Amino acid sequence: MSCRHGAAACIAVALSIQFVASADLRAATAATPELTGLQRAALADRRAYDTLRALTEQVGQRFAGSEGDAKAVQWALATLQAQGFSNVRAEPVTVPHWVRGTAEVTLLGSSSTPLRALALGGSVGTDGRALEAPVLAVTTVAELERLSTEQVRGRIVFLYDRMLETRDGMDYGNTVRNRSAGAIAAAKRGALALVIRAVGTEDDDRPHTGTMRYADGVPRIPAFAIGNRSADRLLEAFGSGPVTLRIASTSRCAGTAQSANVIGEIPGRDAGTPQEQFVVLAAHLDSWDVGTGAQDDGAGIAIVTEAARRIAELPQRPRRTLRVVLYANEEFGLSGGKQYVLDHAAELDRHVAALEADLGAGRAFRFESRVAASDLPTAIRIGQSLAPLGVPFVSNDTGGGADIGPLRERGVPVFELQQDAAKYFEIHHTDADRLEQVDASDLAFNVAAYATVAQALAEAPDLQHLARTWPAPQEGGHPCEWRP
């Protein structure tokens, strides 16, 4: 086997070889001269990187409800205006606000060993008071749920499963449950606090933050993530007997604040008429409060704005209107995504498709859809327009993305360009998520891919809406008791 970069790369290589071998490249790939020209131009793009640089340098962190969040809304309005988008506006969204404060997690023993820690997003604090307790080490929430109150009561629970690096980040879903559901499961059994091995793949000691849940009627206990090396050290300590930790924190919820979904459009040929249809290009404007959100989701903002702008520069206007939506507060409660479908309920039937960029700057390596079975040929044809970029169509079972989830639940077909996430989860939700982690040519590649799909969606045959679905039930709710 010469395919050293994972199966998906092999799919891509195999498909592009098949396509190149075809007698009529354009017919086989559905890549029109217009699309091929768009791709070539976009591959040389550096404007997306300039946009990202401006965002990270002029705004920086933009956690929901923070000063940076308000600055980001102003920056986005000014940027979309300057880039020539139409109908630029901010649609108000109320967001919860949480203040991180301090976080201490110390391994006690013959000497005290401080571990690198961050509070999980929304965690209660201890008012700064130290709490010492014996530790119970458990791999996963599922394992914790098999334990009795007797085994857990009075302990600090340490969940130590580690996320494995893969190209599509598939282990995130497995391991993030420790972060989101761990505090509820631990507190139900009488635990005093939760410490998790950070959900991150790097061989380093970075704590990764991220949102968590509390449930009504279950005590709210402080929750922290520690870096991978800290987690290894803590786990190793168990080989010699009982382990004690000291924790302290000043985290707290701090009410709500005003933010906004920022929107700009490339008007289609039917713009302004009752026949106008929309293709949503999505990214989220907020970031976590550590780092500057360069990859999460600065990269997505740079990609979708630049993809739309390149289509605006084509000689002919697209059939459908491309609506770039930079969503408020994805990270800490999906406020913007939930608000958008309420604000636009009357025109959702004219939302033909949605495509989100929220997996950093790694290069797209496969294309997926969720369309009606009868529209699969259309999805495959759109996928074939990506053949010059070596990106194969592989699935009609994507979730699309977090911000466009509420659109999908209401029946809007969604598409996904799965980006290479092998490095993404090394810095995801950490203070290392900064501009220097993003490669300008990766961004340009994605501009080419997203622009291709956006343009193909703007011109494609009509797509049926799907049956409405409801999100899977989960225990607990927003840690700051915020309701959309």
- Which residues are marked as active site? 330
Q: Which one of the spans 145-153, 309-317, 331-339, 439-447 is the region binding its own copies (CB under 8 A)? A: 145-153
Interaction pattern, residues 182-221, with its own copies; x per rule: CB under 8 A: -------------------xxxx-----------------
For residue 174, state whether it binds its own copies (rule: CB under 8 A).
Answer: yes
Q: Do the Cβ atoms of 290 and 98 come closer than 8 Å?
A: no
Residue 374 CB neighbour total at 10 angstroms: 9
Interaction pattern, residues 245-284, with its own copies; x per rule: CB under 8 A: ----------------------------------------
- Among residues 169, 162, 117, the alpha carbon closest in space to that of 137 is found at 162
For residue 342, state whether it binds its own copies (rule: CB under 8 A).
Answer: no
For residue 143, state whether it binds its own copies (rule: CB under 8 A).
Answer: yes
Q: Tell the residue number behind the tokens 């509070």, with chain if given.
A: 119
Q: 366 φ, ψ to 5°?
A: -155, 155
For residue 147, state whether it binds its own copies (rule: CB under 8 A).
Answer: yes
| Smallest distance, its own copies to C-beta of residue 279, A | 20
Q: What order do you get walking across the sheet with 103-108 strand by strand?
A: 113-115, 103-108, 244-249, 131-138, 156-159, 193-197, 223-226, 117-119
| Interacting residues with its own copies between 419 and 438 (CB under 8 A) | 423, 426
For residue 151, state whether it binds its own copies (rule: CB under 8 A).
Answer: yes
Q: Which one of the spans 160-168, 266-274, 288-296, 443-451 is the region binding its own copies (CB under 8 A)? A: 160-168
- Distance CA(306)–CA(303), nearest Å, equals 5
Q: Do the Cβ atoms of 106 and 245 come closer than 8 Å?
A: yes
Secondary structure (3-state) at 186: helix
| Smallest distance, its own copies to C-beta of residue 290, A | 19
Determine the Cα angle at 69 with ends 68 and 75, to 5°. Answer: 85
In sequence order, the β-bridge partners of residue 354 are: 280, 414
Measured over the CA atoms of residue 89, residue 320, residue 362 and residue 341, the dihedral's sign is positive
| One residue of 43, 70, 108, 235 binding its own copies per CB under 8 A | 235
Secondary structure (3-state) at 39: helix
In sequence order, the β-bridge partners of residue 214 are: 477
For residue 399, state whether it binds its own copies (rule: CB under 8 A).
Answer: no
- Distance CA(392)–CA(386), nearest Å, equals 7
Closer residue to its own copies, CB minimum distance, 39 or 175? 175
| One residue of 42, 93, 136, 322 binding its own copies per CB under 8 A | 136
| Smallest distance, its own copies to C-beta of residue 480, A | 31
Binding site for its own copies (CB under 8 A): 1, 3, 6-8, 10-11, 13-15, 18, 30, 136-140, 142-143, 146-147, 151, 160-168, 170-171, 174, 201-204, 228-229, 232-233, 235-236, 238-241, 373-374, 376-377, 380-381, 383-384, 392-397, 423, 426, 467
